[in-house]
Structure 1
Amino acid sequence: MGERDHSHDGHDHHHGLMHVHGSTHGPRLVLSLVVTTAFVAGEAIAGYAAHSLALLSDAGHNASDALALGLAAYAIWISKRPANSKKTYGYHRANILIALFNAASLVVIGVVILVEAWRLVRTPKPAEGTLMIWVAGVSVLMNTVIAWLLSGGAKESLNMRAAFVHMAGDALSAVAVVVAGLVVKRTGWVYADPLVSALIAVFILYTAWGIVRDATDILLESAPKGLDFDKMVRAMGRVKDVKSVHDVHAWTVSDGMNYLSCHVELPEGTPIEKCSEVVRELNELLAHEFGIAHATIQTELAGSCIHQHEASVLCDESVARHEGHK
């Protein structure tokens, strides 16, 4: 029975790699939400008065930003709730679900703007260029400032990245509206407004796609973004006394929370102290070189396990039955 006792689980947490910035970014999100909501109301009224689809479409984009900012702030709040027996990962995935919802709403808005732009091309209406320029100019200033406030969290959180992209995109969209207003004012070319609206819609769809893709990958438990999976497995195999690595699974729970589980084969007769040492070395490698904050590693001894992929998890049970019949 001695060999069977060597098979065990290595379990480690590297909380130092998990960055939670909710307390820092939350107030900035709330402030940005208040400013954006007030501006959306004013821009929508101005767009309606000026008969400008470009302004109305930009107001719609800003409205989606207000929703995104509010939901992002909510996600930060709810993700702080502790894990329990039913939600063992806690509420961290709320960040990803909300990011996906925000991106989906952007897709809908982009499609609606394209449809309206096409309708305006077929039946153009004159737009008030001067009002477009002034309102869009204020939008450029507001969105640029808010994007700057949120830029610090863009690399740390999918939600913060979505909020940042929303606001930076709005700043660029507002610049485009200023250009359309100048063209309308100086040339009277009525197609400038729907053309700019269509460009804004395409930009919205483009930025939304990246968020949808990343959020979907996390929900499908794909390998963490940026992880070279094959390189990681090869590096694990080079750790001293590791004969093979199999049944490897790596996934992301939420922002900065990368997990891994795997089976590692060691030479026959390896003492349990050595097994523990190998597990520690593997955990250090995974944490510091591949950003895996939490790893669960099962060690197996050569000659004691069924090595087929599907059956390897039956190692302890099969060895126990074999030794029980002796």
Structure 2
Amino acid sequence: MSAGHGHGHASANSDQRWLTGALVVIVAFMAGEVAAGLLAGSLALLSDAAHMLTDAGAIALALWAARLAVRPAAGRMTYGWKRVEILSAQANGVTLLVLGAWLAYEAVRRLISPPEVTGELVLAVALVGIVVNLAATWMIGRANRSSLNVEGAFQHILTDLFAFVATAVAGLVMVLTGFARADAIASLVVVALMGRAGLGLVRESSRIFLEAAPAGLDPETIGAALARRPQVAEVHDLHVWEITSGQPALSAHVLVVSGGDCHAVRADLAGFLAVEHRIEHTTLQVDHAGPADLRVDEAGDDHCDEPHGATYRGAPAGLPWPGRAGDQS
């Protein structure tokens, strides 16, 4: 059983419009911030500008990935280009980590030997940056954040918003006290936020690439529940993974009790998975179990010498389940 997945073209187009709007706002402000950072001699402003450059790249990458993802499956790309969105999210996460490492080095160096920084200009630009990033965060927040691709771009913008708040505080401290090291301390706050967001994106995207079970879907719970369905003797070779964010898939080998209706069992299991676990992309191999060995059908053919993963037992082998499929859960 297979079904269509993902948000449709209309929703994808809406996501792209919000992402494009955020990209325009970010690029326009970034150019002014670079000039202000150089004029003020502020690492905090330059680090924010560098982060905004990665923001622009993250949004551009997200736009490219979103356009590829809506292409239909064809040829060798049997799932289409949906995994490109996960590649984009992972690239955004790695970029945050690499840039954060560089900024941490520069911030520590400036803590040791702080340069002269114009606190008034830092404060003014940071306040404008807060407004700009609030607007960009709002725009991307209107897109479909269940997509890890969109979430990657959103995390870039959100950490930049927090960074501007830290920079504004640093600018105010420098204006009021002349404490120049506040600029480097603000940069370290930015680094911490970037590291947290980057690690989260890399972890989530890696989970999908390694085809681990999606968050909230426990294979053992699902396998045991399938084995308890009517006329099911055994479930093995159970695999649960995610094609792309928000698109879980499942495959399994199901053995039906002697005399059971394989077609009815398959329909019952597919409906159960869709309703109870929101898994609509399912591939179920359904066969009759033999009385002696559940993994040998009634004709004596051996299906699985070494089944992958756990085996979940249901009705006794060779005995028909009392009642029709759907009568007992």
Q: Structure 2 length as normaliser, TM-score? A: 0.86
Name the amino acid aligned to 1:241: Q
Q: How far 1:269 sits from its partner (Å)?
A: 2.8
Q: 1:187 to 1:160 in 2, by over 3 A?
A: same
Runs of 5+ unmatched residues, structure 1: 1-11, 313-326
1:315 counterpart residue number: none
Pairing of 1:12-27 with structure 2 (within 5 A): 12-15=1-4, 18-20=6-8, 21-27=11-17
Deviating more after overlay: 143-152 vs 55-64:
143-152
- Given that 1:154 and 1:164 are in contact with CA atoms closer than 8 Å, whether structure 2 keeps it comes out as no
1:218 counterpart residue number: 208
2:221 counterpart residue number: 231
Q: 1:19 to 1:288 in 2, by over 3 A?
A: farther
1:34 counterpart residue number: 24
Runs of 4+ in 1 over 4 A off after TM superposition: none
Counterparts of 2:36 and 2:29 in 1: how far apart (Å)? 10
* 1:196-224 deviation per Cα after TM superposition (whole angstroms, max 9, x unaligned): 10110111011110000011111111112
Given the alignment, which residue of 284, 306, 309 partners 1:310?
Answer: 306
1:149 counterpart residue number: 139
Counterparts of 1:42 and 1:287 in 2: how far apart (Å)? 51
Q: How far 1:291 sits from its partner (Å)?
A: 2.1
Given the alignment, which residue of 165, 184, 188 partners 1:198?
Answer: 188
- Secondary structure in 1 aligned to 2:230? coil
- Given that 1:249 and 1:262 are in contact with CA atoms closer than 8 Å, whether structure 2 keeps it comes out as yes
Name the amino acid aligned to 1:83: A
- Secondary structure in 1 aligned to 2:241? strand
- Given that 2:2 and 2:281 are in contact with CA atoms closer than 8 Å, whether structure 1 keeps it comes out as yes
Counterparts of 2:86 and 2:284 in 1: how far apart (Å)? 27
1:52 counterpart residue number: 42
Name the amino acid aligned to 2:269: L
Q: 1:244 to 1:197 in 2, by over 3 A?
A: same
2:263 counterpart residue number: 276
Name the amino acid aligned to 1:296: T
* 1:65-94 deviation per Cα after TM superposition (whole angstroms, max 9, x unaligned): 100000101111111222112111111111
Q: How far 1:307 sits from its partner (Å)?
A: 6.8
Counterparts of 1:309 and 1:247 in 2: how far apart (Å)? 11
Q: How far 1:162 sits from its partner (Å)?
A: 1.1
1:317 counterpart residue number: none
Counterparts of 1:170 and 1:33 in 2: how far apart (Å)? 13
- Given that 1:50 and 1:131 are in contact with CA atoms closer than 8 Å, whether structure 2 keeps it comes out as yes
Q: 1:206 to 1:23 in 2, by over 3 A?
A: same
Counterparts of 2:81 and 2:305 in 1: how far apart (Å)? 32
Q: How far 1:163 sits from its partner (Å)?
A: 1.4
Q: How far 1:239 sits from its partner (Å)?
A: 1.0
2:119 counterpart residue number: 129
Q: 1:241 to 1:252 in 2, by over 3 A?
A: same
Matched, 1:98 2:94: no
Given the alignment, which residue of 266, 273, 278 partners 1:286?
Answer: 273
Counterparts of 2:197 and 2:305 in 1: how far apart (Å)? 40
Pairing of 1:70-81 with structure 2 (within 5 A): 70-81=60-71
- Given that 2:15 and 2:144 are in contact with CA atoms closer than 8 Å, whether structure 1 keeps it comes out as no
* 1:74-119 deviation per Cα after TM superposition (whole angstroms, max 9, x unaligned): 1111112221121111111110111111111111110000000011
If each structure's helix is expressed as a fraction of its own residues, which one has the higher value? 1
Q: Percent identity of the aligned residues?
A: 37
- Given that 1:129 and 1:181 are in contact with CA atoms closer than 8 Å, whether structure 2 keeps it comes out as yes
* 1:285-322 deviation per Cα after TM superposition (whole angstroms, max 9, x unaligned): 1112212121000112111154755269xxxxxxxxxx
- Secondary structure in 2 aligned to 1:259? strand
- Given that 1:121 and 1:194 are in contact with CA atoms closer than 8 Å, whether structure 2 keeps it comes out as yes
- Given that 1:267 and 1:302 are in contact with CA atoms closer than 8 Å, whether structure 2 keeps it comes out as yes
Counterparts of 2:280 and 2:99 in 1: how far apart (Å)? 37
RMSD of aligned residue pairs (Cα, Å): 1.6
1:301 counterpart residue number: 288
